[in-house]
Amino acid sequence: MDIDRLVVIGGGGHAKVVVDAWLAAGRAPGTVEVRDDDASRVGRLLEGLPVQVPAVPPPAARPAPGPGPDTGFHVAVGSNAVRRDLWARAVAAGLQPAVVVHPRAAVARSAVLEPGCFVAAQAVVGPGARVGRGAIINHGAVVDHDCVVGEFAHVAPMASLSGGAQLGAGSLLGSGARILPGIMVGADATIGAGAVVMHPVGDGRTAVGVPARIIEAQ
Ligand code: JB2
């Protein structure tokens, strides 16, 4: 979806990154608004923009349908579970999800970016790769050729998936962690910062270290 106005849902650190990516593409500050459910954030400036409540804009706060700018929403919250919930609320309210890609990310022509995902500055998404809806590819992360990042997953800064690797829906690949070629990590899994995943990791598991080993829940 090509849009020329953006509603950013979330008013914390990740929202700053998303707003910056939007503005870095040369768009005017008046084309983006920031919304949060946390009333204590109202009026605070986020990258120069005042935070408004509630997170999902009520109909009266939306542009009238018809000719004029097309508006999309982007949920900019780091928690995969919260991001998924806010996404569902926004879609139920009739809003359209928008992909946001920093102009200095490198996304291959044959990569697929599903609705509402985010690709940060210096990130790479290789040929044939797929990034699921609502997923985050954070600063400097690498999603190599033919990899799959599931919906509402998060590839943290400087983390990487080598060719053909997979990260399941709702999973976190921690900062600087690596998944070696063709290895699969399941859904709702957590890979600790700096880990090197050499063997498959099942749904809901946590793996840490080099080589990565499964640890039980504390
Ligand atoms: O249950 C919730 C909820 N929990 C947190 N419901 C709703 N509606 N909103 C929730 N939030 C919102 O997430 C807060 O109101 C706030 O907008 C945001 C949390 O902001 P914070 O700055 O704590 O985190 P973040 O999610 O923006 O960023 C985290 O994830 C990024 C990927 C941080 O860890 C960053 O350092 C990281 N880069």
Res. 217: pLDDT tops 80: no
Res. 148: pLDDT tops 70: yes
12 C-alpha to center of ligand 1: Å? 5
Over residues 66-82, the pLDDT tens digits come to 666 799 999 999 999 99
Q: How confident is the model at residue 43, as a pLDDT?
A: 85
Q: Is residue 78 lining ligand 1, measured as CB closer than 6 Å? A: yes
Q: Phi, psi (5° rounding) for residue 19? A: -60, -45
Res. 169: pLDDT tops 80: yes
Q: Which atom of ligand 1 is nearest to the CA of 154?
A: 32
Give the global pTM.
0.96
| Residue 58's pLDDT band (cuts 50, 70, 90) | confident
Residue pair 143/129 in contact by the 8 Å Cβ criterion: yes
Over residues 7-31, the pLDDT tens digits come to 999 999 999 999 999 999 999 999 9
